[in-house]
């Protein structure tokens, strides 16, 4: 815990708190604000000049900058080796994306040392932190053996508490044509060994990956081992992923690109967050999910990067916010909420994605007067300050 002096952020031009009790609307905005944090948590939020000001406070004048909660990237796959730039170039020349490329990353990942995997995760998480991400979920899934999934989770757990066993990502080559046998191995051996190192269990429910029954079995076994379910669903085409996620009370169903009226109704009536990953559509040059339709139906939407070497090799939440606004018809307010509070809901966290007394002091400032500039000025590095647990990064 931070035993140092408390920090007062003063001269905030526009503050996003995500607390409707503090300011009007979901973003809970405060103009001409100040924010006090210490001991790792937010201590006070309000209009500048009204703050309690003790003698052990370090004051930082933000000179009119916008301040908001750090981004919560609730979906990444950073434990891998190699890259697939050639596959990307071929796609941009007209080749369609198929999940088959996952196998080349599995081969490279299995051949890598733990130190190499750790170096890649460190590099990607440092990138993410610089662009304002203060909480990140990390999946395994490029091992698909008990030993390789276990070490992937161990590497991830050294960097974040939000670790996910993506046990059923793709059938590995040694189980070619025997997906049911692979699922049996996941249930009998992989989940018991790996569950103590993960918080979440994830599956790729998609034609060509795992079918509904296989996914249900894996998720149910994971839940029995103490993990909480999340699902990759409806990414490459229509399918049962969304319905399965809602039926199982999953924290989140991710991608949600190909949905029908029944899928949207199920999400609107359930507790599962729809996590949209526009970096994937950007990098596969495929149509984006219709966030407007989801939000207008009352669905809770998160935005995340999906950082992985196949479909979305970016750690930039600001890029995803810009894509969400321009390509998925979200407003800047909605996109910023989804990248902070929405991500927190997708991770079932109430201590992050919000700036109110008692919440984690995960805070970012922008070289801009409002959060809308994240979408309005795409591609510009606007994140000027990052505090994680109250500590300047």
Query: Is 61 among the annotated ligand-binding positions?
Result: no
When the beta carbons of 182 and 204 are compared against ligand NIG, the nearer one is 204
Q: Which CB, 53 or 313, lies closer to Fe ion?
A: 313
Note whether 306 binds ligand NIG by CB under 6 A.
yes
Residue 259 contacts which entry, ligand NIG, Fe ion, none (Cβ below 5-8 A, type-dependent): none
DSSP letter for each residue of 70-117: PEEE--B-----S--HHHHHHHHTTPPP-GGGHHHHHHHHHHS-HHHH
CB-based contact 364:134 (threshold 8 Å):
yes
- In DSSP notation, 19-58 reads -TTTSSSTT--EEEEEEEEETTEEEEEEETT-S---TTEE
- Partner that binds at residue 101, options ligand NIG, Fe ion, none, CB closer than 5 to 8 Å by kind: ligand NIG
Residue 319 or 382 with smaller CB distance to Fe ion: 319
Which residues from 85-104 bind ligand NIG, rule CB under 6 A?
A: 99, 101-102
Tokens of 117: 């995997």
Q: Is 311 in the site for ligand NIG (CB under 6 A)?
A: yes
Cα–Cα–Cα angle for 184, 190, 194, rounded to 5 degrees: 155
11 Ramachandran zone, left/alpha/beta (phi>0; psi -120 to 50): left
**Taking CB under 6 A as the criterion, which residues in 188-227 touch ligand NIG?**
204
Q: Select 45 or 302, whichever has its Cβ closest to ligand NIG.
A: 302
Q: Which does 7 bind (CB under 5 to 8 A by kind): Fe ion, ligand NIG, none?
A: none
Kindly give, in sequence order, each residue whose CB lies less than 8 Å from that of residue 330, ignoring residues fewer than 6 positions away: 291, 292, 295, 301, 303, 324, 338
Binding test (CB under 6 A) with ligand NIG, winner from 289, 310, 332, 353: 310
Closest residue to bound Fe ion by CB = 306
- Give the footprint of ligand NIG on residues 124-183 (CB under 6 A): none
What is the enclosing helix (H) or strand (E) of 180? Answer: helix 179-185
- Residue 232 binds ligand NIG, judged by CB under 6 A: yes
Could you say which of Fe ion, ligand NIG, none residue 315 binds, taking C-beta under 5 to 8 angstroms by partner kind? Answer: none
Please work out the total of residues on this chain that contact ligand NIG, with binding judged by CB under 6 A. Answer: 13
Residues 343, 72 contacting (CB under 8 angstroms): yes
Contacts with ligand NIG by CB under 6 A lie at 99, 101-102, 105, 204, 232, 235, 280, 306, 308-311
């Amino acid at each position: 815990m931070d035993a140092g002096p408390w920090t007062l952020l003063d001269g905030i031009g526009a503050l996003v708190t995500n607390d409707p009790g503090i300011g009007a609307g979901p973003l809970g905005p405060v103009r001409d604000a100040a924010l006090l944090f210490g001991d790792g948590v937010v201590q006070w939020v309000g209009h500048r000049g009204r703050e309690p000001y003790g003698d052990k406070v370090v004051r930082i004048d933000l000179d009119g900058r916008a301040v908001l909660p750090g981004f919560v990237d609730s979906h990444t796959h950073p434990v891998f080796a190699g890259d697939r730039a050639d596959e990307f170039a071929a796609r941009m020349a007209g080749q369609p994306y198929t999940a088959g490329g996952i196998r080349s990353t599995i081969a490279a990942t299995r051949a890598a040392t733990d130190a190499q995997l750790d170096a890649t995760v460190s590099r990607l998480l440092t990138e993410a932190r610089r662009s304002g991400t203060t909480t990140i979920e990390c999946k395994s899934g490029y091992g698909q053996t008990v030993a390789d999934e276990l070490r992937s989770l161990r590497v991830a757990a050294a960097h974040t508490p939000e670790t996910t066993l993506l046990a059923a990502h793709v059938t590995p080559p040694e189980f070619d044509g025997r997906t049911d046998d692979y699922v049996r191995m996941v249930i009998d051996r992989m989940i018991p060994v790996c569950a103590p190192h993960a918080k979440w269990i994830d599956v790729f429910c998609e034609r060509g990956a795992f079918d509904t029954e296989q996914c249900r079995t894996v998720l149910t076994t994971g839940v029995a081992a103490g993990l909480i379910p999340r699902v990759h669903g409806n990414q490459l085409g229509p399918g049962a992923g969304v319905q399965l996620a809602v039926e199982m009370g999953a924290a989140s169903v991710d991608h949600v690109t190909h949905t029908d009226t029944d899928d949207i109704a199920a999400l609107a009536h359930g507790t599962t967050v729809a996590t949209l990953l526009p970096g994937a559509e950007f990098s596969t040059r495929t149509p984006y999910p219709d966030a407007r339709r989801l939000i207008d139906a009352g669905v809770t939407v998160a935005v995340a990067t999906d950082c992985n070497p196949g479909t979305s090799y970016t750690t930039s939440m600001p890029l995803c916010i810009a894509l969400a606004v321009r390509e998925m018809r979200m407003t800047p307010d909605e996109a910023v909420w989804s990248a902070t509070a929405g991500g927190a809901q997708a991770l079932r966290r109430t201590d992050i994605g919000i700036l109110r007394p008692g919440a984690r002091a995960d805070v970012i400032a922008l070289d801009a007067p409002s959060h809308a500039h994240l979408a309005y000025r795409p591609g510009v590095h606007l994140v000027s300050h990052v505090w994680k647990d109250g500590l300047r990064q």
